[in-house]
Homo-oligomer: A and B are copies of this chain.
Amino acid sequence: MRDDLGAFVAGPRVTAAGAATGPLAGWTFAAKDLFDVQGHVTGCGNPDWARTHTAAGSTAWCVQRLLDAGATLVGKTVTDEISLGLLGINRFDGTPINPRAPGRVAGGSSSGSAAAVAGGLADVALGTDSGGSVRIPSSFTGLYGLRPTHGAIPVDGLMTQSPSFDTVGFFAADAARLLALGRVLLPPGTDTRFDELLVATDAFALADAVVRDGLQPAVQRIGLATRDVTLAPEGILEWCRQQRLLQSFEFGRTFADWVDRTNPRFSLEVARSLVGAAAVQHLDLGEARAVRAQATARLESLLGSNRLLCLPTAPVLPIRRDASLSEMGAACDRIIELTCIAGLAGLPQINLPWAQTADGIPIGLSLIGPRGSDLALLAWAAAH
């Protein structure tokens, strides 16, 4: 399978049989190599992480939950190094191929999970999303993908990155499977009936024309009463700036001791994020936390309990696999401008693979729902 798509991590293949019966009996799944599987080292996409960690003593809650529901683990998948990346480029384990656009990246950091599902190597896959790491690869590879409400799915047994942003997300090629997976992983939700679609004009304005124009038919397809809104009176770029500071602060703190002890090897893309994070440790984050609270209140007020918000998942198409470091940086800077929104507020966001360019490159449309509406979002998608 690695030979086909470069989707599975280096080292011994990790598999585990699912229970004989259950809602997912007979399904296959892959898990990003941030999730623990008992008896195996969780490599987190970096050789020095793997070298300095021992085999997991138990299996991550989510992985066990899927096994118990009958799904069989067929492999652990490539991730951007220690999950710090949005493009899916890994200079150690290899950059997974995007089955829908082979010359372009699959998106990250849950790159191998998306590649595995998009390439038909697994029915569904687990990823994580702190800054966009399920949303972006699902958009780039043309999959349904959910970043859930922050805190809705336990993060036990997986690598911490930025605790106030970290979520467990998942991928499927169709909305019915995504819903079935959600029913296994998510707490039971209230029965929400969405009655209005808010179109985030300031978010669409940040997207390239090919994305903005390409998504218009998908927006029409949603079929709800529509209203244009401005998300951020102070500007989305201000939300983005503060989200980056907060997330940098958190992952800088998460990795500081290990980095200091280990002097790990990283691609420069990842190293510069960590170097930047070290500088954030000395900033006053009071303003950033205030902006986060404002953004959260603003989004909650817009969404109420029955509204959906739509925006492009990514403002750009997947970049070429051989892009330069500056092109990579520029793409990430753009991407975070839109992924910061649900990230700051901890709200659920689903990617709908409903559009593509004339050349067949996927363009993802996102819906953000009210806090805790995850299952309702999945059910809505499955009904459309």
Contacts and interface: CB of A to CB of B under 8 A. Distances in A.
A268 to B, nearest CB: 5
Interface of A: 48, 89, 91-92, 259-269, 271-272, 274-276, 324-326, 328
B268 A263 contact: yes
A371 B172 CA distance: 70
Nearest to A92: B265
Contacts of A325: 259-263
A269 B275 contact: no
B274 A263 contact: no
A268 B264 contact: yes
Copies in the complex: 2
A268 B261 contact: no
A268 B268 contact: no
Given A275-B271, A275-B275, A265 B263 contact: no
Given A274-B268, A275-B275, A263 B92 contact: no
Nearest to A324: B260
A267 B265 contact: yes
Nearest to A323: B263
30 contacts: A48-B91, A91-B263, A91-B264, A91-B265, A92-B265, A259-B268, A259-B325, A260-B325, A260-B326, A261-B324, A261-B325, A262-B325, A263-B267, A263-B268, A263-B269, A263-B324, A263-B325, A263-B328, A264-B267, A265-B265, A265-B267, A266-B266, A266-B268, A266-B271, A268-B274, A268-B275, A271-B271, A272-B275, A275-B275, A275-B276
